[in-house]
């Protein structure tokens, strides 16, 4: 029996490109919404060309962000094609998401005010770089620029050259916030019948990731610096070097530190006033961390994973992507999904289960203009 998903019956028109907006659309699609992606008929979404690696003629990045969607290609400056899309939105759509550059959508007749005047129940989500007010409201923005401006890069790395977080965390986080806002607006519409304009931005997402650091700065006036894998507030809570690799240890309270110290043969550290409490360990991290590292470096990563796990200390090996692909826990969860008949492309599913079942991979990302008949009519379909 086909899985019934939470957003079955909801139709979304996605006028987005790159990663952030398409990730919002992908979340909604995996939740069951009928997401129709709108692309320029010439080259389509820029992300189609963000390879290699490619799968077929399209980048794997595009596939990762656009699974489970339908796709149309039309010229929004063409009066006939624009009218067809506008008619489809008014007649069929529940949600519109747009992430075109600032000021580009309104002159085309697809802004929130115009569409919601035609359909008051419509939920319209604007995703911009810096928001709709302020001195940067019209500026373009990209994930690494926002990682820099929001302060994320200032607390990432080991204090050398600036380090970008190794995934597009601002783009994908912005997509998540769009999806959350849209879900909240759908709930409001169920209660009132009214639509909502939802606004999100990359910069606000970047700032939201800095919430703990900002609170710490506000209270102390101390400007935080990069700490590698460690945390300002908890010690030991970082990666350590073994004789053949690294392990991540998270002894987040005094009880866990006691278990760690005992397991490595240094139970005396738990009664040493320099290290007996987390406050003391934070203050004296410069002596404690080298001490722990000198002990952990005497054996292998797998040895310490076994020993500390048995002792009840949270520990994990630092895995590379090929190891993650074969991780038995990931395999048990079934989060890496392959379309039927395809063996060389795995896409990561949504990290949610409903009644014990993860939404299945229904379809790969659409070819450019693959589903034009949905909006333009079969005679226009490619």
Which residues have a catalytic role annotated? 171
66: CB partners within 8 A, 6+ apart? 22, 25, 26, 37, 45, 47, 365, 366
Using an 8 Å Cβ cutoff, are 5 and 359 in contact? yes
- Residue 92 sits at the vertex; the CA angle it makes with 39 and 100, to the nearest 5 degrees, is 30
Q: Which pairs with CB-CB distance under 8 Å and at least 24 residues apart come from 243-246?
A: 243/297, 243/298, 243/299, 243/300, 244/300, 244/301, 245/300, 245/301, 245/317, 245/318, 246/301, 246/317, 246/318
Instruction: Using DSSP, state whether 209 is helix, strand or coil.
Output: helix
Q: Which residues of 93-115 are buried (b: 16+ CB within 10 A; e: fewer)?
A: bbbbbbbbebeebeebbbbbeeb
Tokens 């519109």 sit on residue: 96
Q: Which residues of 54-75 are buried (b: 16+ CB within 10 A; e: fewer)?
A: ebeebbbbbbbbbbbbbbbbbe
Closest CA to 278 of 268, 266, 270: 270
Record the tokens describing residue 100, joined without a space.
């075109």
């Amino acid at each position: 029996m086909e899985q019934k998903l939470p957003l079955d019956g909801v139709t979304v028109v996605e006028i987005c490109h790159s990663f952030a907006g398409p990730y919002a659309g992908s979340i909604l699609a995996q939740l069951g919404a009928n997401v129709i992606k709108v692309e320029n008929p010439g080259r389509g979404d820029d992300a189609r060309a963000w390879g290699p690696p490619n799968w077929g003629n399209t980048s794997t990045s595009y596939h990762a962000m656009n699974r489970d969607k339908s796709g149309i290609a039309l010229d929004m400056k063409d009066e006939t094609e624009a009218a067809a899309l506008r008619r489809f939105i008014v007649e069929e759509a529940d949600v519109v998401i747009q992430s075109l550059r600032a000021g580009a959508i309104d002159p085309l007749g697809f802004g929130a005010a115009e569409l919601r005047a035609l359909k008051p129940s419509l939920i319209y989500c604007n995703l911009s770089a810096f928001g709709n007010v302020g001195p940067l409201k019209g500026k373009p923005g990209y994930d690494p620029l926002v990682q820099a401006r929001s302060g994320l890069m200032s607390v990432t790395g080991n204090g050398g050259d600036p380090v970008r977080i190794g995934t597009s965390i601002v783009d994908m986080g912005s997509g998540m916030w769009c999806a959350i806002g849209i879900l909240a607006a759908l709930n409001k519409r169920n209660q009132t019948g009214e639509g909502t304009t939802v606004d999100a931005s990359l910069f606000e997402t970047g700032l939201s990731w800095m919430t703990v650091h900002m609170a710490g700065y506000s209270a102390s006036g101390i400007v935080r610096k990069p700490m590698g894998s460690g945390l300002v507030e908890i010690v030991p809570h970082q990666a350590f070097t073994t004789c053949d690799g690294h392990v991540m240890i998270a002894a987040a309270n005094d009880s866990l530190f006691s278990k760690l110290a005992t397991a490595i043969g240094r139970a005396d550290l738990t009664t040493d006033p320099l290290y007996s409490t987390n406050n003391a360990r934070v203050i004296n991290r410069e002596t404690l961390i080298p001490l722990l590292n000198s002990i952990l470096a005497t054996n292998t990563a797998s040895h310490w994973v076994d020993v500390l796990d048995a002792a009840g200390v949270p520990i994990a090996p630092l895995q590379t992507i090929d190891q993650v692909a074969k991780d038995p826990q990931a395999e048990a969860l079934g989060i890496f999904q392959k379309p039927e008949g395809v063996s060389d492309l795995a896409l990561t599913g949504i990290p949610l289960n409903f009644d014990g079942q993860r939404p299945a991979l229904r379809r790969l990302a659409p070819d450019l203009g693959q589903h034009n008949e949905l909006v333009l009519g079969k005679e226009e379909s490619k």
